[in-house]
Amino acid sequence: METIIHTKDLQKKYISGNREVPVINGIDLEIYKGDFTIIMGSSGSGKSTLLYLLSGLEPPTSGEIWMEQQAIHGITEKLMTKLRREVIGFVFQDFNLVPNLTFLENILIPAYLVKNDRKALQGKAKRLMDKMGILNLADRLPSEVSGGEQQRCSMARAVINDPQIIMADEPTGNLNSNSSKAVLDILSELYDAGQSIIMVTHDIKSACRGNRIVYIRDGEVEDEFRFERTEPVKAKEEKLLAWLSGKNW
C-alpha cells in the first residue's frame, strides 16, 4: 500500500487562558492512497483537530506531518495555502460556502485561484454540478437552498482541483437521512473511482462506506481495523458495532 500522508509523534496543545490543553498526544499514523479512511472516537477525543492538522488548517505544536515527500509541519503559510488549494479538498460539517456568491461561483473560486482557463473551468464546474444533481441551482445563493444541496455544492468545490485527498469532518452531521445518503453516495462513487478520502463520523452506517476505521481516544490512536472489500453492508455494520461496543463507545 502506498502512503499518502504520515505523521510522526504528532502533538497539539491549545492554549486556553493561561492553561495548556493537550488534544493530540503523539499520533503516528499512516494514511494510504485509495483508502476511504474513517476516523471515529467519542466527542472531544480530538478527531476534528487531527483532521485540521492533517489538512494544514491548524499548525501542530510538535511532531511531523508528511504529504508524500513534502513536509507540511513548519512550512510557510504561503506554501500551506497552496497545498490546501491544490492537494486537499476539505468538506466541513457546516458547508462553509461564501454566502454572497452563487453555487457556481462558490465552486469556481478555488479553481480560479489555481488555473487561468476560465472557460474550461466553468465547463468542469457545471459537469460536477450535474454529477452532484445541483446543476439547476447554479445561480442560487447558499441561503436559497437546502442543507443537502449546500453540502453537494461544497463537495463539488472540494473536488474541482482534483485533490489528492478529500477530508470531510462529519459531512452529514447537519443533514437529514435522504440528504446524507446523497452526500455519502457521492463519496462512495469517488472512492470507487480511486479517490483517497478521510472522513470523521459518529454514524455507523456512514462509517461502513469506508474500508478502514481508525479509533481515537484522548488524542491517541487506540485501535483500527479494515473491512473486506466484498463484505455485505449488514455484516460490516454488525462487525463495526461489535468492535465499538468493546470500546464503550
Ligand X SMILES: Nc1ncnc2c1ncn2[C@@H]1O[C@H](COP(=O)(O)OP(=O)(O)OP(=O)(O)O)[C@@H](O)[C@H]1O
Cell representation of residue 227? 473491512
Residue whose CB is less far from ligand X, 51 or 97: 51
Amino acid at 168: A
DSSP 3-state assignment of 81? helix
For residue 209, the 8-state DSSP code is T
Q: Report the C-alpha gap between 113 and 103 in whole angstroms.
A: 17
Query: Would you say 40 or 132 has its CB closer to ligand X?
Result: 40
Residue 59 belongs to what H/E stretch?
A: none
* 180 contact choice in ligand X, Mg ion, none (CB below 5 to 8 Å, kind-dependent): none
* Nearer residue to ligand X within complex by CB, 47 or 236: 47
b/e code 61-73 from CB counts within 10 Å (16+ = b): bebebbbeeeebb
Site map (CB under 6 A) of ligand X, residues 7-36, x = contact? -------x-x----x-x-------------
Stretch that binds ligand X, among 42-50, 75-83, 182-190, 237-245 (CB under 6 A): 42-50
> What letter represents residue 9's amino acid?
D
Q: Nearer Cβ to Mg ion, position 133 or 147?
A: 147
With binding defined as CB under 6 A, does residue 106 bind ligand X?
A: no
Q: Nearest Cα to 63, choosing from 4, 7, 23, 6?
A: 7
Q: Count of residues binding Mg ion (CB under 5 A)?
A: 1
Q: Which of 32/249 has CB closer to ligand X?
A: 249
Distance from C-alpha of 187 to C-alpha of 17, rounded to nearest angstrom:
39
Q: State the Cα–Cα distance between residues 5 and 67, nearest whole angstrom.
A: 5
User: Which of 39-47, 105-113, 157-165, 191-199 is the region at the interface with ligand X (rule: CB under 6 A)?
Assistant: 39-47
Residue 43 partner contact from ligand X, Mg ion, none using kind-dependent CB cut-offs of 5 to 8 Å: ligand X
Q: Quote the least distance from Cβ 110 to ligand X, whole Å.
A: 24
The single-letter code of the amino acid at 184 is L
Rg for the chain (alpha carbons), in Å? 18
How many chain residues interact with ligand X (CB under 6 A)?
Answer: 12
- Whole-angstrom distance, CA of residue 117 vs CA of residue 214: 40
Q: Which entry of Mg ion, ligand X, none binds 41, CB below 5 to 8 A by partner kind? A: ligand X
Our finding on whether 48 is near Mg ion (CB under 5 A) is yes
Report what 150 binds from ligand X, Mg ion, none; CB cut-off 5-8 Å by kind.
none
**Binding footprint of Mg ion on the chain (CB under 5 A):** 48
**Binding footprint of ligand X on the chain (CB under 6 A):** 14, 16, 21, 23, 41, 43-49
